[in-house]
Chains A and B, each alone.
Chain A
Amino acid sequence: MRRVVITGSGAISPHGLNAADLWKGLLAGRSSTALLTQFDSSAFPSRVAGGVGPFKTTDYIPKSYRKAAKIMARDIELAVVAADGAVRDARLATRGIVESSGGGKPDGAWFAVESRRIGCNIGAGLISADLNELTAAMAQARQPDGTLSLARWGRSDDPSKPGGMDQLTPLWLLKYLPNMLACHVSIIHDTQGPSNTITCGQASAGLALAEACRTIQRGYEDIALVGGCESMIHAMGLMRWTLLGRLNTTSNQQPEKAVRPLDQTAAGTVIAEGGAVLVIEELNHARARSATIYCEIAGLGGSSSASGVSRPDASGEALAVAMSKALRDAQIGPEAVQMVIPPGYAIPEFDRADVCAIHRVFGQKPGAAVVPMRGGIGDCGAGAQAIDLVAAAMAIREQTIPPVVNCDQPPEHLDVPRTARRQVEIRNILIAASSLAGQNSVVILRKLD
């Protein structure tokens, strides 16, 4: 069977605009959650967010395609930046890199990609229309009673004036289609292989990686860009997560301490944005071009909790089954795993379900360190597991377990590191994710001998 390895990683997160910054932030145990400044959130009980610092999307797009930046929602921009980082890290001379003006020109050591042999599988969330843009158009068709007049939305009473909908740019819809993350990335980097958009919330990136990995194993592509990105930092995101009771409402005075995964005082998450893209590649293909290999994709597992909407499977059974499947796929037992990245939302009932799942698979006193990544970041939806995957790839490459942020009182019997650990042999890392709706994805990454 064809083996698949990771040869590039790009991340955009509250810790910074690339994978190196993410790793630096994680190693330092830094928290990048802060008071929400992107819009006035004074009406909301939770006013903390994990935002990404300023960047210019056009810096990551070749000149010939810059106009497209106008029709990219924030989620799409994040994916474009993350993909650029991943492709550069893997030294792939894609169209986007060859035609780019900044970021370092490829030389002979870079690999000229065969477009039909590279795919793209980037998870995405539900992208909300920009509230101001849409409301500005609706205001043209407002009735005295404050409702929207559909009679004046399609066209105006006055033929010389445009109707409400005409205020929207003709390509308005394209900004918000979830598949546009993968579509823009595939255009920029000219990836003509299989392309997919998995929309399973926080489990999306692992499912995307798993699917592309199988496609490479079947021989239908040699390389794939995989991952996920999402921004939850917008009015609708804050409103939805508030109504569902997922957010921390008691840490506005100490925003950096708001997200406390697995901690006894965990009180909810915060809205965040970010994600990552990884380059995965067939092992011999990577070796033939002397690529730097982070690790091997050793095991994959998926399941569904059947527990309902925004309600965890308290037994942890389904997540445990997905973990066991991944271990079987990797042909190892739980004792071979040195580090587990659980979903770790910092929402108490979800955290308890994670802990149950870990005990089911790893026993009463798990030997592996348990390292949730949400602490200094928050919930970036479809980007969440992508960030975890990059963190795991870095941990294997650097042979270092990063500390967990804001978990001062971990559950009994779990080894939750408070400081970075360097004197360990890290061979296998298990990365587990659960979406808010019960889809689970588990990936095991392994150090390559």
Chain B
Amino acid sequence: MEHSRRRVVITGMGWITPLGQDLEDVWKKLLAGESGIAPTTLFDARSFPTTFAAEVKNYALPENLAGSAKHQQIGRATGFALAAARQAWRQAGLPLPGAPEYAQLDPYSIGMYMGSGEGSLNFDTYTRTALAAWEDQTHSVNMRIWGERALKSFHPLGEIEQEPCMPLTHLSLEFNARGPALNCLTACAASTQALGEAMEIIRHGDAQVMISGGAHSMIHPFGVTGFNRLTALSTFNENPRRACRPFDATRGGFVLGEGAGILILESLEHAANRQATILAEIVGYGSSADAYRVTDQHPEGRGAIVAIEQALHDAGMTPADIDYINAHGTGTRENDSTETLAIKRVFGDRARKTPISSIKSMMGHLIAAAGAVEAITCVLAIRDQVLPPTANYTVPDPECDLDYVPNTARPAKVDVAMSNSFGFGGQNDTLIIKRFTP
């Protein structure tokens, strides 16, 4: 471990989630075990194997963003990212461009590292254009017809806004952030990886402030199609609120969610100089690849173990230092038993003594944005000395035999929290967040 590196602290947080759009309000709901999962309304999903999702409800762009010429035709996830970043920026006490205090900031020292997903296809235009050009005889799309219609029907900005780097572009415009700008898309691990790498950029001195987190929405017909074909989603249509049952013996898949989580990371020096309120410190990051199969996790949790071990090593900690694990805990049969196994391998005797919970039981799986809202949850758990529960836990599974904080929030001493994210395809990331002490 290198001791000369800069310390990295969290000074602002914001989220747009299926449980709400206000930091404290959502946190209260998580502690109360409430569910953000309900029948799908964004499109008619009644014929789909899964008819429910964890949607962001009543979402409208904040007034001053909606009218902005800078943010035309933005995708749903980009809107989430902008709104969550506004909250985080405000909590961090940072001035907006145009304010006189902004002159004290160096725009080139403000970077961004997001784990944002791709935007959604323009469903109506895409399907109409494709079907109009489909020829049953040749069993193919007539490209002449498709091209002519497509050039008249698609909106250039609406199309380009689907690029996964677009949230960066809009955040950059909104906050005049001109430092290093990166987006990674490692499926369900993306925003945990983004936060870890954002921390490394500050540690290395390439930026003083990083806007980091994730934003994603795959709740559209083709997104749900993809996951339904993979049989990864819960099909517990009779009771959506109970559909996601992480670590429970009856668990049967994850629930697709959407939203954004954004954290403002800062070098300790920069935060201290401007007398910012420090919410927590990020002290450890580990990253690995399963290199096993694109369809399955390594059955012994090989990659997960490496990510967890590396994060501990990076933080200079041992399992005894970890007070709480915010699990990846998707509610699929495979993830929850593999994650349990990996925790046991690394934590040994400490595994049974370390509380673990999955907020996906309430919030659904925000895919690329999941890690960011889970990192925020860790900071709030440290702040309030309370652990959010794993909801819907009723039937113990012999393969998942640890303490999952079932159903009820629990007061606890929490100085250090670990957050795991394991991506579809085998990319794994772990963060360690600690109570800030000067």
Contact = CB atoms under 8 A, between A and B. Distances in A.
Nearest to A167: B229
Contact of B151 (A151, A242, A305): A242
Given A139-B131, A302-B179, A183 B294 contact: yes
B147 A42 contact: yes
Contacts of B310: 220
Contacts of B293: 187
Given A187-B293, A187-B426, A196-B427, A239 B222 contact: no
B281 interface: no
Interface in A161-194: 163, 165, 168-174, 176-180, 182-184, 186-187, 189-194
A303 B151 contact: no
Contacts of A187: 291-294, 426
Contact of B147 (A44, A124, A182, A245): A44
A413 interface: no
B130 A134 contact: yes
User: Size band of the A side of the interface?
Assistant: 35 or more
Interface string A105-118: 00000000001100
A152 interface: yes
Contacts of B165: 199-201, 435, 437, 439
A23 to B, nearest CB: 29
B183 A198 contact: yes
A99 interface: no
A135 B49 contact: no
Interface stretch (B9-17, B168-176, B239-247, B396-404): B168-176
B407 interface: no
A172 B232 CA distance: 13
The interface residues of chain A, by DSSP majority, are classed as mixed
The winner among B70, B150, B423 for most chain A CB atoms within 10 A is: B150
Nearest to A42: B144
Interface in A192-226: 192-201, 207, 211, 214-215, 218, 220
A138 interface: yes
B384 interface: no
A239 B291 contact: no
A306 B288 contact: no
Interface stretch (A140-148, A260-268, A355-363, A401-409): A140-148
B229 A165 contact: yes
B200 A235 contact: no
B294 A174 contact: yes
Nearest to B156: A243
Nearest to B157: A309
A321 B291 contact: no
A155 B47 CA distance: 6
Given A195-B427, A304-B179, A179 B147 contact: no
A235 B146 contact: yes
B29 interface: no
A304 B302 contact: no
B26 interface: no
Contacts of A288: none
A151 B172 contact: no
Contacts of A207: 182
B59 interface: no
B118 A138 contact: no
Interface stretch (A12-20, A25-33, A125-133, A384-392): A125-133
Given A126-B164, A191-B289, A201-B165, A239 B134 contact: no
A316 B150 CA distance: 34
A421 B404 CA distance: 66
B367 to A, nearest CB: 10
Contacts of B49: 154-155
Interface in B151-199: 151, 154-157, 159-166, 168-169, 172-173, 176-187, 193, 197
Interface string B277-289: 0000000000111
A179 B222 CA distance: 18
Contacts of A420: none
A170 B178 contact: no
Contact of B426 (A68, A186, A245, A306): A186
Contacts of B155: 243
A227 interface: no
Contacts of A435: 165
A24 interface: no
Nearest to A243: B156
A192 B302 contact: yes
B91 interface: no
A146 B426 CA distance: 40
A239 B154 contact: yes
Contact of B130 (A131, A165, A183): A131
Contact of B168 (A170, A182, A236, A304): A304
A303 B179 CA distance: 4
A151 B287 contact: no
A131 B141 contact: yes
B229 A170 contact: yes
Contacts of B45: 150, 154
Nearest to B226: A173
B272 interface: no
B287 A240 contact: no
B41 interface: no
A209 to B, nearest CB: 12
A302 B118 contact: no
B204 interface: yes
Contacts of B182: 198, 200, 207, 211, 302, 439
A100 interface: no
A115 B291 contact: yes
A35 interface: no
Contacts of A124: 185
Contacts of A318: 108, 178
B3 interface: no
B229 A199 contact: no
A172 B184 contact: no
A202 B306 CA distance: 31
A194 B288 contact: yes
Given A152-B47, A437-B169, A132 B178 contact: no
Interface in B95-141: 107-108, 111-112, 118, 124, 127-128, 130-134, 136, 139-141
A43 interface: yes
B231 interface: yes
Contact of B131 (A148, A193, A306): A148
Nearest to A143: B131
Contacts of A152: 47
B146 A170 contact: no
Contacts of A424: none
A198 B200 contact: no
Contacts of A71: 294
Contacts of A304: 111-112, 168, 172, 177-181
20 contacts: A43-B150, A146-B132, A153-B221, A168-B225, A177-B185, A183-B426, A192-B291, A192-B303, A193-B289, A196-B186, A235-B143, A238-B147, A240-B160, A302-B206, A304-B172, A304-B177, A304-B178, A309-B160, A437-B160, A438-B181
